[in-house]
Chain A
Amino acid sequence: MEGVLVLAIGACVWAGVAVTAWLARARPRPAVPVRTTVVPAAAPVPAGATAAVPAGVAAAAGAAVPAAAARRTAGFRLAGVITGLAAGGTAAASGLLGRGLLLAGPVFGWFVLAGVVAGEISVRPVAGRTRRAVVEVRRVRDYLPRGLATAVAAATAALAALVTVTTVTAGPDDLGRAGRVLLLSCGPDSWQVTGPWPGSFYSVPLAVIVAAGLITAGSALRAVIRRARTGADPDAMAADDALRRRAARTITGACGILVALPLAGSCLVSAGALLSLSCRPAWWTYAGWALLALLIPVVALIGWCAGVLLAPARAAAVAPSAG
């Protein structure tokens, strides 16, 4: 219940942040008389004609935009990480019978994603009388970090498979709460019970919040791809592409945390439960150790994703022309 409350409060906060970001984007810029018409430098400008901004000046003005956009998106991203840590910590400390702890990772990831979306919404579209756009099709796969995305996809598949199996095999505990323990028949009249076990008691809220997080990640990636370019000259486009790549890395990292933390928890709890039953079949022992072995790459993935989320962006890669 507390977890739902934290999510609801967080959603309200981020809805406010998103509206603020949108309003910041919608605020009109000071009018700059930019024209891209080519006029020879030595040519006299007829009296009464609009003064043409030299190409160099226009390019310099265009190159300054990615730096501002980089700062704004980084600010929202950091806000997402900080509120995510707070919300994840709150979720971990609340919740019934360890359910909050299981949901802490997804809650953190969801807030980081919300920060990325708010940052992307805040990037202002091209203004001025003359606008230029390159004929190109931007695709998500052009910006995703391949290695990290593959690892996160594998972790998602592993989590889905593990949670499906544990949900199917779970039973009710002594108070009748469905899907909370593992029951094993050791003989005609002998049963062993161990828990907690990631059955439906844990997996249903986990599946809901992970699915919501993955849908949010999809929306965030679409926002990254579809937001306006911050300039059409090659330098501005390179800086803008770096900015999008950084956002896509953050989204992938947040997805990694969203999936890998509950996967690590599920592996640990499942392995502990499997190995704690004395009358277990031999293959349960192998399965338990396999789950413990799986923890190593999963923890490595958590470290990788944390590094992606918390490491500062390389300024040179984001805005080479920023002053």
Chain B
Amino acid sequence: MTARPSLTVDTSDPTPPYEQLRRQLAELIQAAALSPGDRLPPLRQLAADLGLAVGTVARAYRELESAGLVSSRRGGGTRVSATAPSLPDSERQRLLHDHAKAFVRQAALLGADEQQILTAISQAMATCSPAS
């Protein structure tokens, strides 16, 4: 069974919550974790789950719609557009390396050695869903 993708909002982050949502949803769509035609959660449901205002989620959805990643239809909810661009494999690989480098840099700053870094990655892979 494939784990369902999840969204995380950090209210202490200086990035506004709507932008955090927009960025994560855009990444999920571009990484094909959300396929064309997939329905996004209803505004009120997602707002309740994240403890945010409905307007905050609505703004994130509007931004995604402006970027052509999703389309909204009255009564049909908000769905991933059929024309939503997905990342090519080369770009996917580049992003993976970038994230890995950033993590290793951060871990080194914390004083972790190679074994500790590998252990941390194993633990994270055991507890986190691929798309979360």
A40 to B115, CA, bound (A): 11
Judge whether A226 and B45 touch: CB under 8 Å. yes
Question: Which B residues are CB-close (under 8 A) to A225?
Answer: 45
Interface string of B35-58 (1 = CB under 8 A from A): 000011110111011111000000
Judge whether A134 and B4 touch: CB under 8 Å. yes
Q: Is B34 an interface residue (CB 8 A)?
A: yes
**Closest-CB distance, B73 to chain A (whole angstroms):** 14
Judge whether A136 and B50 touch: CB under 8 Å. no
A110 to B45, CA, bound (A): 25
Judge whether A40 and B41 touch: CB under 8 Å. no
Judge whether B44 and A228 touch: CB under 8 Å. no
Across the interface, B39 reaches (CB within 8 A) one of A130, A134, A137, namely A137
Whether A135 contacts B51 in the complex (CB less than 8 A), given A40-B107, A129-B12, comes out as no
**Closest-CB distance, B125 to chain A (whole angstroms):** 10
Judge whether B6 and A132 touch: CB under 8 Å. yes
Judge whether A137 and B12 touch: CB under 8 Å. no
A98 to B110, CA, bound (A): 78
Across the interface, B116 reaches (CB within 8 A) one of A35, A40, A135, namely A40
Across the interface, A43 reaches (CB within 8 A) one of B9, B25, B111, namely B111
Q: Is A146 an interface residue (CB 8 A)?
A: no
Residue on A nearest B117 in the bound complex, by CB: A40
Q: Is A311 an interface residue (CB 8 A)?
A: no
Question: Which A residues are CB-close (under 8 A) to B116?
Answer: 40, 42-43
Question: Which A residues are CB-close (under 8 A) to B44?
Answer: 226
A129 to B48, CA, bound (A): 15
Q: Is A229 an interface residue (CB 8 A)?
A: yes
Q: Is A38 an interface residue (CB 8 A)?
A: yes
Judge whether A136 and B41 touch: CB under 8 Å. yes
A44 to B110, CA, bound (A): 7
Question: Which B residues are CB-close (under 8 A) to A55?
Answer: 127
Q: Is B85 an interface residue (CB 8 A)?
A: no
Across the interface, B48 reaches (CB within 8 A) one of A39, A44, A227, namely A227
Across the interface, A135 reaches (CB within 8 A) one of B6, B9, B112, B124, namely B6
A187 to B132, CA, bound (A): 80
**Closest-CB distance, A294 to chain B (whole angstroms):** 37
Chain A interface helix/strand/loop/mixed: loop
Size of the chain B interface, CB-CB below 8 angstroms: 38
Judge whether A134 and B8 touch: CB under 8 Å. no
Question: Which B residues are CB-close (under 8 A) to A126?
Answer: 49-51
**Closest-CB distance, B128 to chain A (whole angstroms):** 8
Interface string of A221-262 (1 = CB under 8 A from B): 000011111001000000000000000000000000000000
Judge whether B110 and A131 touch: CB under 8 Å. no
Across the interface, A46 reaches (CB within 8 A) one of B39, B110, B117, namely B110
Judge whether A129 and B51 touch: CB under 8 Å. no
Question: Which A residues are CB-close (under 8 A) to B50?
Answer: 126, 131-133
A225 to B42, CA, bound (A): 11
Judge whether A135 and B110 touch: CB under 8 Å. no
Question: Which A residues are CB-close (under 8 A) to B45?
Answer: 137-138, 225-226
Q: Is A219 an interface residue (CB 8 A)?
A: no
Judge whether B7 and A135 touch: CB under 8 Å. yes
Q: Is A281 an interface residue (CB 8 A)?
A: no
Question: Which B residues are CB-close (under 8 A) to A36?
Answer: 8
Q: Is A218 an interface residue (CB 8 A)?
A: no
Question: Which A residues are CB-close (under 8 A) to B9?
Answer: 130-132
A232 to B41, CA, bound (A): 14
A-B contact pairs, 11 of them (CB 8 A): A42-B119, A43-B112, A125-B49, A130-B8, A131-B49, A132-B7, A134-B4, A135-B6, A135-B28, A226-B44, A227-B48
Name 13 extra pairs, CB < 8 A, besides A43-B110, A129-B10, A129-B11. A38-B123, A39-B110, A40-B123, A41-B123, A125-B48, A125-B49, A127-B51, A131-B50, A132-B50, A133-B6, A135-B5, A135-B28, A135-B40
